[in-house]
């Protein structure tokens, strides 16, 4: 019988190759550092070369292993090449965290005022990027009959949040995508789940949210404090682990009890 382990960890001898997109900052960075600290090889992908190399350095300095790759997840050729490099380097991918998204740079505005090119760009990166990454990596997971796909959606998809229609739409699409992917990949031992963070202090400046708006949202939570990145890493770790083996197609809201699913 296996000995009891900390939730979110696999057996000590098991090292999973973890691919994380949008790993250069914010929540993606936190996920990368967490997996690196747990002795899992991390493939950190980001469009920002300086940022992703900095994350890789942090992981290595702490004794972990990281392969940084500069990747535009919305570019099919770039995604295929990146996955080829990962397969060449590690021979497999065990966990995929689809985290890359456009959000912090978006200006809050009524949907009638969203430029079409901005709408298209958000949907392309947030939705198509998730599709392209999973499409490229799923054959490796199917081959080994084991895999964990974790798609990062947002609690905004359940709130009907105003003035971010393109972002909210993209994150709602991720929930539907997660459910369909779970149906298609389950027979090969691959689970697919979504994590829906609420507003979280990631250290990324956001000029569009006032202190008053932030405090109003905190006041509506069951747990009335600001969320930080460490509040998300445990859920991600659990869904990447053996302990989550019979959970698939589900959406996990991590927002301190603001939205109930």
Question: How far apart (Å, rounded) are the C-alpha atoms in residues 23 and 27?
Answer: 8
Concatenated DSSP letters of 83-137? HHHHHHHHS---EEEE-----TTPPP--GGGS-HHHHHHHHIIIIIHHHHHHHHH
CA angle (197, 141, 100) in 5-degree steps:
30
Span between the terminal Cα atoms of the chain, in Å: 35
Question: How far apart (Å, rounded) are the C-alpha atoms in residues 244 and 4?
Answer: 14
User: Are the CB atoms for 227 and 197 separated by under 8 Å?
Assistant: yes
42-46 sheet: strands from edge to edge: 66-70, 42-46, 18-21, 95-98, 147-152, 190-197, 251-254
Does the annotation count 90 as an active-site position?
no
What b/e string do you get for 22-46 counting C-beta neighbours within 10 Å, with b at 16 or more? bbbbbbbbbbbbbbbebebbbbbbb
Active site residues: 167
């Amino acid at each position: 019988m296996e000995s009891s382990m900390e939730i979110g960890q696999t057996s000590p001898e098991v090292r999973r190759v973890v691919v994380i997109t949008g790993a250069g900052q914010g929540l993606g960075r936190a996920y990368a550092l967490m997996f690196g600290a747990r002795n899992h090889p991390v493939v950190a992908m980001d469009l920002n070369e300086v940022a992703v190399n900095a994350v890789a350095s942090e992981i290595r300095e702490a004794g972990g292993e990281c392969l940084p790759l500069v990747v535009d997840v919305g570019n099919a050729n770039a995604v295929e090449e990146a996955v080829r490099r990962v397969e060449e380097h590690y021979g497999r991918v065990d966990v995929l965290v689809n985290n890359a998204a456009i959000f912090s740079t978006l200006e809050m505005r009524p949907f009638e005022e969203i430029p079409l090119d901005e709408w298209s760009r958000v949907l392309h990166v947030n939705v198509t990027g998730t599709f392209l990454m999973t499409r490229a990596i799923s054959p490796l997971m199917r081959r080994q009959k084991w895999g964990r796909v974790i798609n990062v959606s947002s609690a905004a998809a359940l709130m009907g949040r105003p003035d971010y229609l393109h972002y909210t739409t993209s994150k709602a699409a991720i929930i539907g995508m997660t459910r369909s992917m779970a149906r298609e990949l389950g027979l090969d031992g691959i689970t697919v789940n979504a994590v829906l963070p609420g507003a979280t202090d990631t250290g990324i400046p956001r000029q569009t949210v006032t202190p008053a708006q932030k405090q109003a949202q905190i006041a509506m939570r069951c747990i009335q404090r600001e969320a930080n990145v460490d509040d998300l890493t445990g859920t991600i770790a659990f869904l990447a682990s053996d302990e989550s083996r019979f959970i698939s197609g589900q959406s996990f809201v991590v927002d301190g009890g603001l939205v109930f699913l």
